[in-house]
Amino acid sequence: MADQWQREYDFAEKVARKAGEEIRKAGESEIRVMTKSCTVDLVTKTDERVEKIIIGSLKQEFGEGTHCFIGEESVAKGEACILTDKPTWIIDPVDGTTNFVHGFPFVAVSIAFAVNKELEFGIVYSCLEDKMYKARKGQGAFCNDELIQVSDVKEIKKSIIISEHGVDRSPEKVNKIFSTMQKILCIPVHGLRGSGTAATNMCLVASGAVEAFFEIGIHCWDIAAGAVIVQEAGGLLLDVDGGPFDLMSRRMLSANNDVIAHRIIKEIEVFPVERDDAPTHRIY
Ligand SMILES: O=P(O)(O)OC[C@@]1(O)O[C@H](CO)[C@@H](O)[C@@H]1O
Ligand SMILES: [Mg+2]
């Protein structure tokens, strides 16, 4: 069916815009900060409220029980994080909560939709910049309705690379992350960056502002929407060891092309993380 999931896609954009408005408004008053897995893993009432608004709106539009949901804050409260073949929404209501709390201007709403474990579309609304990124499988990627494309740079020495350090601050992991960053910086690349939101980072790859973004320790809700956007903009997704991308593995490299991707992979010091769908999963 040609327009299957079109209604879901159109509605997701509306919901993302509404969620972004809520986040912008909430940022104007005092933000009450709480923590999740550790003292640097921040969450606010806005994260929880916006997730409820998104899931509530989707249930109202498409009917209770027809779709499954994986939402960051619902999982934090104990809901399952298992991707099945059923139509499933994968949601990060506020990607970049630390940025939101500090007034650092990159905060995104990330909404993806998967069927038979395949991502059908993704919406990333970078709400403080008012940039609506979206992509549907096979139909290209857009920012504010303009077609976007990854960069055509193939020389690593002419690239900008993004990575993030996450909230797990155990010295062994931090050492590996910074050792990887040091090696990449000293290739040398033009620069290293990080916006503080994985969803936005992926849109920066998709729109050609940077050549690659990789991270070990991200979650499916951080990257599901961005994954479609990067691929539809002509980029690729891989595991950080060069194997196939696995949404639930918490390991991801997105790049403009395979030359850049494999040059970065040579430098990445991989460390173990528990999968999102592991039965004993502890949220980081
Ligand atoms: O908790 P939040 O704000 O939704 O996630 C913020 C975030 O920085 O955490 C990831 C893990 O390091 C990031 O890359 C991701 O985008
Ligand atoms: Mg979040």
Residues 6+ apart with CB under 8 A from 222: 92, 95, 110, 197, 198, 199
Distance 197 CA to ligand 1 centre (A): 5
DSSP β-bridge partners for residue 163:
214
Q: How far is the CA of 166 from the CAs of 22, 177, 197, 252, 276, in angstroms?
A: 25, 10, 10, 13, 15
Q: What is the pLDDT of residue 283?
A: 53
d(CA 174, CA 73): 25
Q: Which residues of the chain have pLDDT under 70?
A: 1-2, 281-284
**Structural domains for the chain:** 6-148 (3.30.540.10), 156-265 (3.40.190.80)
Nearest Cα to Cα of residue 218 among 200, 197, 233, 238? 197
CA angle 263, 123, 145 (to 5 degrees): 95
Cβ 22 under 6 angstroms from ligand 1: no
d(CA 34, CA 43): 5
Distance 277 CA to ligand 1 centre (A): 18
- DSSP helix/strand/coil, 263: helix
Cβ 217 under 6 angstroms from ligand 1: yes
Cβ 232 under 6 angstroms from ligand 1: no
Q: What is the pLDDT of residue 185?
A: 98
Cβ 222 under 6 angstroms from ligand 1: yes
Q: What is the pTM of this model?
A: 0.96
Distance 91 CA to ligand 2 centre (A): 8
Q: What is the pLDDT of residue 196?
A: 98
**Ligand nearest to the Cα of 99, by number:** 1
